[in-house]
Amino acid sequence: MAKRSKKMTIVDIAAASGVSVSTVSRILNNKPDVAEETRQRVLQVIAEHRFAPQSAWQQIKAGRSRVITLHYPQDFNQPSHDIITGAAVGCQEAGYTLNLIAAPLSDTELLALYDRGHTDGVILMEILTHDPRVDLLRGHDLPFVMIGRCADQGNLSYVDLDIGAGVAQAIAHLYEL
């Protein structure tokens, strides 16, 4: 079995291209201050080696993970395919990745998602009337939105169906029939 070659780094790309690491960095970040011939040579080396820059450094530099977490504890009922798909597409269009967590999280685990830089925000699903996750995230002033609503939704962002209005419309429709 052939040995797998080591993963190329920006240093390796610079050496193979005959340029400095900062030049490769400027090219990767689409900075305009690189000669077109140099840019093309470096891009060719990148393509030949199938180099994919790690986003970790960019994430550290920006102080953002570029990840949104959707927390859907499955002990309630099956997840809505449309909601999860919509969240994934919306995140992708905004340049984020969606991380789905389908297990209950302790307070420590939920806060650790933020503290360790694993997420920039959380979408909470299956909201309870008095949801401890909402109280926890609100108490720490962390960014989150809810799909569903709780008893005290003051100054909170949420999306929900108006079940009462839907039932009223259904009854009115049946009455008309």
Structure token digits, residue 35: 């000669």
* Helix ranges (DSSP H) in 49-162: 56-62, 81-93, 107-115, 132-139
**What band does 60 get if pLDDT is binned at 50, 70 and 90?**
low
Q: What are 23-46's pLDDT values in tens digits?
A: 988 888 778 889 999 999 999 998
Percent of the residues in the chain that have a pLDDT greater than 90, as a whole number: 24
**Sign, CA torsion 51/54/57/61:** positive
Report the pLDDT value the prediction gives residue 143, as an integer from 0 to 100: 92
Backbone angles phi, psi at 91, to 5 degrees: -65, -45
pTM: 0.55
Those residues whose C-beta lies under 8 Å from the C-beta of residue 96, and which sit 6 or more positions away, are 66, 67, 68, 120
